[in-house]
A and B are shown apart, each in its own frame.
Chain A
Amino acid sequence: MYQDKLMQESIQKVEAARAENIKLDPRRMTAEEKEKLLATYHPDYKQDEFRVLEVGPNKGEKVPTELAALLQANSRVAGLNLDLTKCDYETDVLIIGAGGAGCSAAIEAHNAGAKVTIVTKLRMGDANTMMAEGGIQAADKPNDSPAQHFLDAFGGGHFAAQKDLLYKLVTEAPDAIKWLSDLGVEFDKTADGTMVTTHGGGTSRKRMHAAKDYSGAEIMRTLRDEVLNRDITVVDFTSAIELIKDENGKCAGAVLMNMETKQILIAKAKTVVIATGGAGRLHYQGFPTSNHYGATADGLVLGYRAGARLLYADTLQYHPTGAAFPAQIFGALVTEKVRSLGAMLINAHGEAFMNPLETRDVSAASIIRECSDRGNGVKTPEGYAVWLDTPMIELKNGEGTIEKRIPAMMRMFGKYGIDIRKEPILIYPTLHYQNGGLKITADGQSDIENLFVAGEAVGGIHGRNRLMGNSLLDIIVFGRNAGKSASAKAKTVAMPEKLTLKHVEEFAAECEKAGIKSDIVSPKLLPDYARKA
């Protein structure tokens, strides 16, 4: 139900051209065309939106302005005069964050016999994992191979991925699917058990496994249920606001804060896993986001202040298809699976202006070009947008496909009177994923001994762009990996005795020396959307 006159006129053009458009398979761009497109239109290339870090392990490198402000901000523990000899929690493995990576790590650490404590600033499962819709990649079909998966991901990430991490990702992918399946995660299958798989942008084989378009939710709720079935301590509505080290500079715990009462708590641990997720709620460059309420890059701040290096913190993923209309769902994710199932990207004049399955960075840049310099966007209250012609899905795959394969999308738009089976939808890129993060080795450890990292807080697995379905995969593969490594390491070390926050003071001193004056504290923990009177 589109009531705007210009939108209605544009829809008529989309409908008139649909029968012809549906027959098209627009050619893929050449490598040169893609490079030029990205350099001109992708937000990562806008130099004035970045700032060079003046302190810390990545001094001299550029990161988004909003992130730089948080990395070089004041600590929340400054001036608190904490007594670190009294601990509220003592555990083998402390996991910060209870999304897909944190819960996978917890389950594997528990399997290995470790005492595990999870802290999470909201509820367990309040995470980007819950919102992942489209699917999870694994090369498990006869026409596919881990090498093919490697090539797709390595190329899609602009040949920048850390090869050892990507090797692990693709070779352990089938086992990750099996692990989930054995936990009871449901996957779309045919009657004989064959996985129903589709393409994602930039895949050369159909290896996207899904649970309708609730893939992440199905995985997350199952992992959460499994954590609750075990003797794992879950401390919810409690954030980590600083890492703690021992006298030898090894990670030894964290300072925690109750999100409601603001009570400060001390957790001592033999090993720590950062699984705090992404940064969409920092709204880089003013973009809307498909991310969870708590996605504020906390783990990057904690790790950086403790001396852990970041990798590719200057690259973000803007998902090409964020909802652009109506305003109530502005920025919400429209899963790539909509394009996997055959919907094409159409401009205001009814033209199919690109192949709908280019990689995400290329697709996003192409849509931005269409809506800016080319002037082919549809005017919306928030700006401009292009059409995603969803009715094509049922023309190609038969009636009922949308309800069966993408029920969440049908529901999301249906709530606002738009029937995606009959009407196309308006989309524009939305801030979706943090490609960069803390640098790790193949065992999941950061630059700091006994500090492990998993999930979206890691940088380097995907390089400078990520393919659809490789993030749900990475949280499982590297979440499990971190849990195994952190519990194995915990067996070899004694419970730390002398705890210290000296590194926090040293970082503050370094900032002062560099002449940085900040009036904010970090980690940010939550965005501030409350209207000020």
Chain B
Amino acid sequence: MEQMVNVYLYGKKYEVPASLTIMEAMEYAGYQLVRGCGCRNGFCGACATIYRIAGDRELKACLACSTKVENNMYVATLPFFPLVKEVYDMEKIKPTQQIMMQLYPEIYACVGCNACTKACTQGLNVMQYIAYAQRGEYEKCAEESFDCVMCGVCSSRCPAGISHPQVAMLARRLNGKYIAPHCDHLDDRIKEIEDGKFEALIENLMQKPLEEIKELYNTREIEK
């Protein structure tokens, strides 16, 4: 006999197998999900969820798709959170400290409560990456925030109204476009292709009889 636990979905009690994730528990209870369900594997941030275990004062946050149910778990999903997303032209902005001040000035109102970090469903040091953003250290902000799935739980807990995932998104794009070292071999190859350097080679290959192509494929040298 499967071990069962009691979970309270939006306050209503259901008995579900203890091995299920919160998302599976909702489906077990009969919910046909539309919102709050995405990749079902921890990459998309669609299923941000807040819960409390009865008797515990602490409010916890997680992704419903990758968290197991517990006995006496009270669950509320957060399928949408109104983050602030500023609009900018990547070709015109530059990776200066001023750009954050212009677009997301509220990051300077951070009171250092660390509620964002405690709430992060990915276990990221959110307050730290906001600190990097404040100082214009976008490379560090990008690295520290890299695993963010933009679920928005951090922002839901923030007394300063910061939209942390969007701040990090901007930092990563600035880093990817302007700060990360430039790749020369990519430019060289694009130029070679534009100049038609490979055209004859590849067309010649395409026109060969199938048996010859098979032979070439089966005997090709594989880089160690």
Contact = CB atoms under 8 A, between A and B. Distances in A.
A408 B124 CA distance: 13
Contact of A123 (B46, B181, B205): B46
Contact of B173 (A190, A194, A216, A222): A222
A526 B34 contact: yes
Interface in A357-381: none
B202 A182 contact: no
Interface in B31-78: 31-35, 37-44, 46, 66-68
Contacts of A260: 34-35
A194 B198 contact: no
A299 B175 CA distance: 36
A533 B29 CA distance: 9
A531 B30 contact: yes
B217 A151 contact: yes
Interface string B137-151: 000001000110110
A40 B41 CA distance: 31
Interface stretch (B110-118, B126-134, B153-161, B186-194): B186-194
Interface string B76-119: 00000000010111100000000000000000000000000000
Contacts of A155: 213-214, 217-218, 220
Contacts of B30: 530-533
Given A205-B223, A229-B87, A126 B38 contact: yes
B38 A292 contact: yes
Contacts of B190: 140, 174-175, 178
A528 B123 CA distance: 31
Nearest to A177: B186
A199 to B, nearest CB: 7
A54 B143 CA distance: 54
- Most A CB contacts (10 A, CB to CB) among B30, B85, B146, B176 go to B176
Interface in A16-66: 28, 30-31
B180 A189 contact: yes
B147 A408 contact: yes
B18 to A, nearest CB: 11
Given A193-B181, A193-B182, A167 B206 contact: yes
A141 B186 CA distance: 8
B123 to A, nearest CB: 8
A221 interface: yes
Interface residues of A, number: 86
A145 B201 contact: yes
Q: Is the interface of B mostly helix, strand, loop or mixed?
A: loop
Contacts of B150: 221
A122 B80 CA distance: 12
Contacts of B85: 225, 228
Nearest to A226: B90
Interface string A202-235: 0011100001101011100110011011000000
Contacts of A408: 42-43, 147
B195 interface: no
Interface stretch (A305-313, A324-332, A433-441, A495-503): A324-332
A195 B123 CA distance: 28
A411 B185 contact: no
A192 interface: yes
A50 to B, nearest CB: 25
A237 B172 contact: no
B21 interface: yes
Given A126-B38, A260-B35, A528-B32, A131 B213 contact: no
Contact of A159 (B87, B173, B202, B213): B213
A237 B36 CA distance: 11
B189 A185 contact: no
Contact of B34 (A131, A171, A237): A237
A194 B189 CA distance: 13
Interface in A158-205: 159, 163, 167, 170-171, 174-175, 177-178, 181-187, 189-195, 199, 204-205
A259 interface: yes
B202 A178 contact: no
A154 to B, nearest CB: 7
B162 interface: no
Interface string B13-31: 0000001110010011111
B169 interface: yes
Nearest to A192: B181
A194 B183 contact: yes
Contacts of A193: 180-184
A27 B193 CA distance: 34
A5 interface: no
B174 A126 contact: no
A387 interface: no
B32 to A, nearest CB: 4
- Most A CB contacts (10 A, CB to CB) among B20, B185, B210, B220 go to B185
A292 B33 CA distance: 13
B120 to A, nearest CB: 12
Nearest to B31: A530
A125 B150 CA distance: 11
Given A222-B172, A530-B30, 4 more contacts: A147-B202, A151-B205, A181-B186, A193-B183
18 contacts: A123-B38, A140-B190, A145-B201, A146-B198, A146-B202, A150-B202, A154-B217, A155-B217, A174-B186, A184-B176, A186-B146, A187-B183, A407-B147, A526-B32, A526-B34, A528-B32, A529-B32, A530-B30
Closest 10 CB pairs of A and B: A184-B173, A155-B217, A193-B181, A184-B176, A184-B177, A186-B176, A140-B189, A147-B202, A530-B32, A193-B183
